Amino acid sequence: MSPITGRDSRGPGYRAGNRPTGPALTGSAPWTAGPEGGILRVMTNHTPAVGQAPAPAAAKPAGPGTLITVAPTGAESQKSAVPALPVTLDELVTTAKECQAAGAAVIHVHIRDGQAQPTLDLARLTDTVAALRESTDLIVQLSTGGAVTDGFEARLAVLDAAPDACSLTCGTVNFGDEVFSNPWPFIRDLYARTKERGVVPEFELFDLGHVATLDRLLGDLGAPHGGHVHCDLVMGVPGGMPGDAATLVQAVSALPPGATWSATGIGRTSVPVMLAALSAGGHLRVGMEDTVSFARGRPVTGNAELVERAAALAELAQRPPMRPDQARALLGVNGRR
Ligand code: KMH
Ligand code: ZN
């Protein structure tokens, strides 16, 4: 199934002394106008009162286009086991260009070192951001999740590479045999830093409980840079929410009003989650970070074919892939730096 494989260690516990000093906006503050002019307000509690019917889904329905994010590499698969995995900068740039041509607008980036192992080396990250900007129009979203073995300081320092956007996972989750650790103080500090640095976060939700943490985050610190909340439902991780249509609908109905969302299904949940997301009005994330099989017994030959399939389904749903400039407007990402 998924590229998630066993590792022996995990990052250290979060050290409060390492917290950056971000602006501490307090209260259940209403927050700013989104790029499309709507006033977005954080609800700190979406639970209906006893006996009351649940509220209808309040997250924003997708507009005419589909935002496609490609996650080409991840931190879990080994190059030796998955030869098509892009691990060098050249391979990553080539993949990025192919995926943009196929319909991607955002690239979610994990990088590897000279031995093809996951790294958060700042110089490599900075060079990667520059190379992707040079060669593509894609929105460059760096992973702050890294590998399960990465420590919190290194994950916070990812923002020093000045990407357009970053991932921000809203809670700890069992991750196969490992734990992907995201305690509240770390989440809060990372979010504060995105606001200081002008980086647009994408809120990664691996489980329904992560939505409550997202609400708390927005309530405490206010709107993200760019003024718009965009979430990614990461479904089918062993230990997280399952990758099926019923869970997707439930998760979407819990999102903050005005939020947009994409979904990705890990491993064999990739196609069902894609179909469910399109039918529920969401956007898509695909890539070899999330699945290395195109179909049962048929390995993925490259990220572009996953994007091509997503783009074809989006066309079929009559919501064709968004261009990068349209995606920038949706997400509140600044123009090229
Ligand atoms: N590699 C996972 C441990 C993210 O990029 O923000 C975490 C992950 C999430 O992939
Ligand atoms: Zn990732």
Give the pLDDT score at 120: 99
CB 172 near ligand 1, within 6 Å: no
Mutate to test the pocket of ligand 1, among 140, 152, 180 (most ligand atoms within 8 A of CB): 180
Whether the pTM exceeds 0.75: the reply is yes
Give the pLDDT score at 21: 28
Give the pLDDT score at 19: 30
Name the closest-CA residue to atom 4, ligand 1: 145
> Any residues with CB less than 8 A from the CB of 269 and at least 6 apart, and which?
235, 236, 242, 243, 244
Name the closest-CA residue to atom 10, ligand 1: 145
> Which ligand has the nearest atom to the CA of 73?
2
Name the closest-CA residue to atom 1, ligand 1: 147
∠ CA 15-21-26, rounded to 5°: 105
Per the DSSP assignment, residues forming a β-bridge with 10 are: none
* Bigger pLDDT: 36 vs 96: 96
Centroid of ligand 1 to alpha carbon of 147 (angstroms): 6
pLDDT tens track for 106-119: 999 999 999 999 99
Give the pLDDT score at 1: 34
pLDDT of residue 134 exceeding 60: yes
How many angstroms from the chain centroid is the CA of residue 231? 7
pLDDT tens track for 244-290: 999 999 999 999 999 999 999 999 999 999 999 999 999 999 999 99
Q: What's the helix, strand, coil split of the chain in %, to 5?
A: 35, 20, 45
Centroid of ligand 1 to alpha carbon of 290 (angstroms): 10
d(CA 12, CA 134): 36
Residue 31: pLDDT band (50, 70, 90) is very low
Tell me the three state secondary structure of residue 271.
Answer: helix
CB 145 near ligand 1, within 6 Å: yes
Name the closest-CA residue to atom 7, ligand 1: 145
HSE at residue 129, side-chain half, CA atoms within 13 A, is 22
Residue 334: pLDDT band (50, 70, 90) is confident
CB 77 near ligand 1, within 6 Å: no
d(CA 326, CA 124): 28
Residue 157: pLDDT band (50, 70, 90) is very high
Consecutive H or E run containing 252: helix 245-254
42-74 burial: b if 16+ Cβ within 10 Å, else e: bbeebeeeeeeeeeebebbebeebbbbbbbbbb
Residue 34: pLDDT band (50, 70, 90) is very low
CB 206 near ligand 1, within 6 Å: no
